[in-house]
Structures are given as C-alpha cells and as structure tokens.
A = this chain, B = another copy of it.
Amino acid sequence: MNVKFKCNCPFTSALDIVGEKWLLVIVKQMLIEGKETFKEFTEADEAIATNILTAKLKFLEETGIIFKTQRPDNKKTNLYLLTEKGLALTPVLVELAFWGDKNLRDIHPIIVNGEAMEFLRNDKMAFANEIEKKYKEKLTTINYLH
C-alpha cells in the first residue's frame, strides 16, 4: 500500500485516505447508484479514465473500503462491493451533499433537486440510515462468492 499520513490529526488522517481524487466519487457511485462492475464505473456521468479507475479500485480494496469478488456464474467480471468500513462513509457523503445543496446553487444552479434531495434536507440521519440499510439488504440478496 502507499498511504502516507501527514500527521496524527483525526481530520487530516481521514483526508489522507479519502481525500484522494475520485475515491469518494467511486464510493458514491456504489452506494447511491448501485454500481458494481468495472464497466459500470467507466460508463458513469463522471467518467474516470480506466487506468485511474484501476489504481483507485486497488487502493480502495487495500484500505478495506471495498472488496472484490465475483458472481458464481461469471469468472471474468469482478464485483466491487462496499465493506462495513466503506459503508461507514455514508454520513460523510450525506453531509457533503447537504452542504452542496445549500451552498452551491448560486454557482451551479442545476444540481438535481428531487424527492431524494428533499428527504436528505429534512432528515440527514434518516436518509443516511435508509441508504445504508438498502445497501446491506442488497448484499444479502445478490449472489456472490464470499
């Protein structure tokens, strides 16, 4: 692995891991958009170059935020899923979206603003819990090698 912690500050240490470009975007795509495979990540709105994607998925796996597995009937396509450690980032993402919703509309007016955003605005914690719950349910539902 290749993690260098700048210091012993809890804030900065978290940023040393999760502040790297693309990492939280990938976690969001897994958590919010249900993306699971290499191909799905490359097809995202926020397109990541494949070489970067490879490196970032490797890093996320090494740090225990995601794990790599497969469907029993497909030995080619890898499945990337969030660990508990990764799921625990949900509140961070929720706070980011909450902040963006309240503070970014002046310079970026077309941020999506649907029912989900309304739910998030009204009760951040309930929203985070709901998302985590759904992801955990999905993990019990889908068929993959443990």
Contacts and interface: CB of A to CB of B under 8 A. Distances in A.
Interface of A: 1, 3, 5-15, 17-19, 21, 24-25, 28, 32, 45-46, 63-64, 85, 88-89, 91-93, 95-104, 107-108, 110-112, 117, 120
Nearest to A24: B15
Instruction: Count the copies.
Output: 2
Contacts of A97: 10-11, 14
Given A19-B21, A104-B14, A45 B7 contact: yes
Given A21-B19, A95-B92, A110 B8 contact: yes
A32 B10 CA distance: 11
A25 B6 CA distance: 11
Given A89-B99, A92-B95, A102-B88, A46 B112 contact: no
